[in-house]
Every structure is written in C-alpha cells, then in structure tokens.
Structure 1
Amino acid sequence: MGSGKTSASIELMNKPDSNKYIYITPYLDEVTRIKQSCNERKFYEPKVFSLDGELYFKLDSLHKLLSEGKNIATTHELFKMATDVTKDLIYNGGYTLILDEALEVVKEVNISASDTKMLLKEWLIKSDNGALLWDTAKEDKQNEIYSGKFQLVRRYALNNNLAIHNGVILLWSFPPNVFELFKDTYILTYLFESQLQKYYFDIHSIKYEYWSVMNEKDRYFFVNKKSSSIRDIKNNIKSKIKIYDGSLNKVGEGKYSLSKSWYINKKHLHKQLKNNTLNYFNNIMNSRSDKNMWTTYKDFKGKISGVGYTKGYVSVNERSTNKYQNKIVLVYAVNRFLNPVLDGYFKSRDIEVNQDMYALSELIQWIWRSAIRNNEPINLYIPSERMRSILVSWLNDEISL
C-alpha cells in the first residue's frame, strides 16, 4: 500500500511497445486516472451506447473494444461478468492484464435452501469438475428460454460461474481459466498471502510469484523479487498510528466480540458500543466531523451511528480509493472473520484459510483509506481485542509476512 504499484503500472503501460493492456480497478475514478495518465497509448472505457436504434450495454461495449484491439480500463464488476465471448476475444487479442486489488473470486449466492433444491432438480446439472451447468437441452425441448425469477442463476451457470457446497448452498465463482488467456497478469495488492484470491489460485493450481516495486529517481518499476522494504514501511507508520488503550475497550473483550454473530446475538450491547464511539470522537479526541472515519457491518450501521460522525461512515470492504485521505480519527468497530460458508468451501478442498491473516489484511486495507496513506498521523479506536492485538503484532513485526 502506497508503494507505487499504480505508478509502476502506468510506467509499464507507457512504454512504446506493441503490448495491449486491460486495466481492471474497483473504482471508476481510477479508470479515469489511467485514461488520463497513459499518454503513450490510448485507453478506452466500456460505455452503454446506441447503434442503429439498438441499445448496447457495457459488456457489449467491452466486446466491441476487445474485437478492435483497444487498450481498455474498466471495473472489477464488469470484468466479473466475463462470458465465453469475452474469453475468446481476450485470448485472440493477446492482452496483458493489470488487476488493481485482488478480485472477489467466490461469494455466496443468496438463495434459500428450498429454491436451491428445486433448481438442482429442475434446471442445474453438476459437471465432472464440480461446476453447475444450466440445462439448455430442457429449454430446447420446451422450445422456450427460461424467464423465471432465477435468471441470474441461469446466467451464472451459462458463464461457468456456479458451484455447489454442502449440497444446498450455491456459490458464485470466477472462472479460473480466464487467467490463462492473458500473456501476463499483474495483481496489484499487499498481503496477497492473506487474500481469498490466493487460496482460489491454490485450489485451481494457478501458479504465481511475488514481485515488488522499486523507485529510482521518482520512476517506479516492477522487479521480480519479494519486497524487502516492508519492515521500513511499518517502522515509519508505527509512530504515526496512535491506538486507543483504555476502558472503552471492555466492550470488545473476548475472541469473538464485535464479530457478525456478536452483533446478532448481543443486541443489548449495541447502545454501549454506540456510546463508546460517540465518546471517543466527541470527548476523548474532540475531533471535527469531517475528520472522522468509522465502520461497522452494513446491517448494523444505524445502530452505531451518532451525532458528529455518522457521515464519516466508510464501508468495511472499502479499498483502492483516495476519497478519505483527509480522515485522521478512525473507529473500526468490527471483528473480521471469513464467511463460514466460504471457509467451509475452502476446507472442503483441503485449503485452510488463516483467519487472523485474513482479518489483518482487511483491517489494513481499511485503515489505508485514511490520512496514513499520505504519511500523516492518525488516531485509531479498535474495540475488538482480537483485531487490536493482530494489528499491534503486525506493527511490532511479531507477525511475519
């Protein structure tokens, strides 16, 4: 984080050679940055467009740009919609992929157990590799394309995005063969060892190696070795992060306090956590509302919101954006664990996710949205005993990554 990964990518893409690039980022403002910064080759952004009276959507636009061999900058969300057409065009185009931040490669599809059983009985076929396919032969027999409420499931299945876990839970999974279609792939992230894309690569035997960024005379470039400067970065920021250590931390004592299940089962403590957050911002720090940044699980935002800091809410999953770099007083009111369904999915494939490292990666990404990314000091209240301990251990080099 802050090591110059995007700058090194821009330097790479500005080299006067014959390479073609697809740059994938979580945010539209980063798409704009790439388009403005890459002067040696023009980048195009997929857009909704009209042609001969027909309306074409972003995926159509992406296919059009790929067929024309254009350099493309777009978002994670569009990239995750890749179809067989997308794959063919990428492969034949000879593209290099630069992926800004690890991709969401697997997630639970929110469908009831009864509906899942119905779909498995009526429309879904399990393939030899475990993927779920849509029964298009049945559609052919009926001479009608399915048009019910599970059209999204149908699209996932047709795109080879659908898998099953424990017999009744449907999972969306990014097709792993997409990464084989590019000449080269760069993933710009920190703590990759802790992220789900790493475990997903391991499941599918996708090979990867660790690179790092070097800076010489204000020019950034990638080098084929793991970074040796992480300790220097930590030593620099350690003195700039002041972590609250007082009685307000009582509410977070215990390994699972402030986890999702804690919020569900400990409703009587929501008011205490809200009062603690209010106390920290307004009394202990006496901070201005425009300098405050805080988070909790989205479903419980209203329970913890309070006067003077509500508007400073930043999603617990926020990453790869500079919008909050003025924030200097932070409250991280969650205790991160991997979704049990996803944890079970990886375990069923003999992959053990390190929960503490996963939590650390998520926490650091969130903190890095603040002024610390500009090397400015921040104040931080982390009521969760577990999360606070993990961060302190990382800062003190007691966790080796």
Structure 2
Amino acid sequence: MQKLVQGTHYSKEKEKQPPINVVDSIMGSGKTSWAIQHMQEANTEERFIYITPFLSEVQRVKTSVTSRKFVEPTNNGKGKLENLKKLILNERDIVSTHALFQNADEEIIDLLKVSNYTLILDEVMNVIEEFKLNKDDFKLLMNSDMVFVEEETGVIRWNEDSEYQHTKYNEIKTLSKTENLIYFENTILFWSFPVSVFKAFKEVYILTYLFQAQEQKYYYDMYHLSYTYKAVQKVNDKYVLVDHESKEPYDKSLLKSLINIYEGKLNDIGSQPYTLSKSWYDKDKNASLVEKMKKNLYSYFRNNVKTPTPVNMWTCFKDHQSELKGKGYTKGFVSHNARATNDFKDKQSLAYVINRFMHPYKSKFFKSRGVQVNEEMYALSELIQWIWRSRIRERQEINIYIPSARMRSLLLNYLESEL
C-alpha cells in the first residue's frame, strides 16, 4: 500500500537558524518576571510574540508590560488564526496561547520570515502528537494517489497532480505543506509542529525547567537545532539571565521540609516497576486492582490527611478518571500534564496515582531519529510540573500520595540532588 519517494526532508532542515535560548530554572525562580521585564525594557522597534499555555497568563502579560501594547488574536468572523496573520502583518506585539500557535501554517511561516519578531515561549509545547486518522481513510488516500510517503523520513506529501484536490481531507493537504505529518513503522501517524516556525524568528526564548527531559528537547535534537542553556537569577531588584552552568545551586532544604510524602500500606499496590502505567490501567485483568486503587484514594484523603474537599488535588490517566473518582476528592482532579497555571495554588493534599512513561511509539520514533530518550528524567519532569500546580508554589506545606514505587523514588532522589 505504501508509495515511497526518496526524501529531502533533513537536508532542508539544515538551513540557518536563529539563537534559541532555553531559560531553564526551577518554578518560582522568576522566569516570567524576567520575560516581562525584558519586554518592558526592550527597544520600541523590537517586536515580540509571547506564547503561553493559559489565558490567565495572556491577561498578565497584557497588563504587566506597559511600555508597549500587547494584543491577543480574536475571532472577527474568519477565526483567530486569520487575525493572528493580520496582527503579524501589522507588526503588533502579540500574546496568545499554545493552542492557537500550534496551528501555524505556511502563510504564518512566510509572514514571520519577513518580519523581525522575537518569540518567548512560556513552557514547552506539545510538538509531537499522534494524529488520529481512520486506517481505511489513510488507505483511501494512498490508493487513490492523493498522498505519498517519503521513504527516508516518513513525511506525508500531498500529490498536487492528483485528480482529487477538493475533498474532506483538506486538513491533511494543509498539514502536508508544512511537513507536519509523519508515517511511522507502517503503523502510526504523528503530527509534528513545523520546525520552520522556530527558524522564522529573529530570536527564541523558552521558559521551562528540566528541559533535558522534555519532548521539545528531543524534537530540537531530531531536527538538529542548537540551543543554549540559561538560568534566571535575581540581582538586587532585577532579574538577569546567566549561563546555566554558573547558576547558584538550588537550595532544596526548604522544599524538602514542605513535602510530606506518604509512606505506608497504601503504597503496596505500586511496588512493581510498571504497575500504574497507562498499559497497566488499560488491561482488563487489572480491573479489580483499579477498584483497589480507588479505595486507596478514598482512604488516603479520608483517613490519612483528613483535609477538606476543596484543598484536595489528584490525577490519573484521563481514560480512567470516572473509575477512580470518589467522595471527598472528585472535584479536585487536575490533568497530569497541567503546566504553568496558578489555578490550583490553594491545593494542600495531593494524590498522583500514575506511573509516567512516554508514549511507546513516540519513544521509538525519537530513537529511530538517533535521539536517546531518558524515561526516568521524563517521568520526573512530568511529576514535578504537576506538583507545582499546588500551594507549594506559594512555599506552603503539602501532603502527597505517590503509590508507584518508581515515581516516589524519582521524587525522593530529586530532593537530594542538585538539579
């Protein structure tokens, strides 16, 4: 079924790139404050696009940067993406969300290339995701010669000479123009954020923590993009960027004193290396153990921490939320991949009842491109980001239940490290 052509994808990606600065500092160290200060003090001729995961941060940037007027894309009848193009064309300072930015198309890339924008990306983006397409639909696209697959890279190309140009597969046609779709191991379609977007800026800043463990780092390595590690430090009343290696070590003594990690029989369920993973939850044979996990959750909140419902926070894989919810904690569900939000800063007692691994095909995909994935660091990064949604970001004490022995060990080792 698969029609192949020799690929030119990687040679194209070796073109010139802008400076990419990864501002890698622990949560609460002042990354966003530095960015606001930087934009506030920049020459008025400079232009910025600030991308953040949450609408609340959009408003923060609009109100905090007073030396220039930031605007956010709006839907004026043709959609926010069209308005974003107009704002870039008019050289406005723009603040928007990851969700909109991920839809960047060929026209936006062309506009950015002839503009002079600096990108500030608050938290890493989802840059590689599974693209859901019915297998029969994909067969139809291939067998009717609407698309073909590059042999070397797996990149999906739209056939402009095909007799079928106006179909319900317009999204496939659009995404293929920016090399967004990749067919991997004759099994799975991946959507990849167009790397040419990052190359279209004058300069790029990424505000995050533990970048070495994140998918965007692997994505950059896959496309051979170079980047420089920086860190934020406060000197007197100003935030400054320093070389990451010269930053002062994080003092975790206060952090350790604020995190009460549950130790007891409720942890027995997660003693094996792969228990509580996504595949473990999905197996029918573990249904009774999933029910046991629900009882453990209830017992932890009701009998161990005994905190009121409004300050309880928990997570699991979305597909199993309904099976695990229970009295005293249901409304405190926070997605396990939540980042960069202050909406849960009052949460005191936490339960993280999953064992985090990268999607297995995604891990294989990176490895097939010569990029090594560190599963332990990846899991630690995901766990820490989730914990930091709670009131620990306000330097207040928290309780946490982590039944997975692997995840609990990662956190304990982190608290003793200099990361």
TM-score (normalizing by structure 2) = 0.90
Secondary structure at the residue paired with 1:56? Answer: coil
Q: Which residue of 2 aligns with 1:121?
A: 143
Q: Give, in whole Å, the separation in 2 of the partners of 1:392 and 1:136.
A: 55
Please give the alpha-carbon distance, in whole angstroms, between the structure 2 residues aligned to 1:345 and 1:113: 19
Pick aligned residue for 1:215 from 224, 231, 234: 234
Is the 1:113–1:168 contact (alpha carbons within 8 Å) kept by the matching residues of 2?
A: no
How far apart, in 1, do the equivalents of 2:82 and 2:167 lie? Answer: 22
Q: Aligned runs of 1:63-142 on 2, under 5 Å?
A: 63-122=85-144, 123-127=146-150, 129-138=153-162, 141-142=163-164
- 1:323-362 equivalences under 5 Å are 323-362=343-382
Following the alignment from structure 1 to structure 2, what is the Cα–Cα distance between the partners of residues 325 and 227?
31
8 Å CA contact 1:27, 1:320 repeated in 2? yes
Q: Which residue of 2 aligns with 1:28?
A: 55
Equivalent residues of 1:12, 1:221 under 8 A apart: no
> Is contact 1:329-1:378 (8 Å) kept?
yes
- In structure 1, the partner of 2:29 is 3
More contact order relative to length (CA 8 Å, sep ≥ 6): 2
Matching of residues 248-263 of structure 1 within 5 Å: 248-263=266-281
AA at the equivalent of 1:126:
V
User: What's the RMSD between the two structures over aligned residues?
Assistant: 1.5
**What amino acid sits opposite 1:13 in the alignment?**
M
Provide the secondary structure at the position in 2 that maps to 1:316: coil
Per-residue CA deviation, residues 8-57 of structure 1 (Å, 9 max, x unaligned), is 000000014021100001111111111111101110100001xxxxx211
Identity of aligned residues (%): 43
Unaligned segments of structure 2, at least 5 residues: 1-26
Partners of 2:269 and 2:28 in 1: CA distance: 33
User: Does the alignment pair 1:200 with 2:216?
Assistant: no
Size of the alignment, in residue pairs? 388
CA deviation digits over 1:269-317, x for unaligned, max 9? 1111111111111111111101100000001001110001100000011
What is residue 52 of structure 1 aligned with on the other side?
A: none
Change in Cα spacing, 1:229 to 1:16, as seen in structure 2 (3 Å) is closer
* 1:306 maps to 2:326: yes
Matches of 2:316 and 2:142, distance apart in 1: 36
SS at match of 2:356: coil
Pair 1:145-2:166 in alignment: yes
Q: What residue identity is the alignment partner of 1:5?
A: K
- Residues 45 and 73 in structure 1, CA contact (< 8 A), matched pair in contact too: yes
Q: Distance in 2 between matches of 1:231 and 1:15?
A: 28
1:98-155, Cα deviation, whole Å (9 max, x unpaired) = 00001111011122444333333332222465421222321xx35x5112xx443333
* 1:289 match: 309
1:185 to 194, 201, 204: 204
Kept after mapping to 2: 8 A contact 1:113/1:169: no
* More displaced 10-residue stretch of structure 1: 364-373 or 345-354: 345-354
Q: 1:172 to 1:93 in 2, by over 3 A?
A: same
1:60-113 C-alpha deviation (Å, 9 max, x unpaired): 000000000000000111111111110111121110000000111101112244
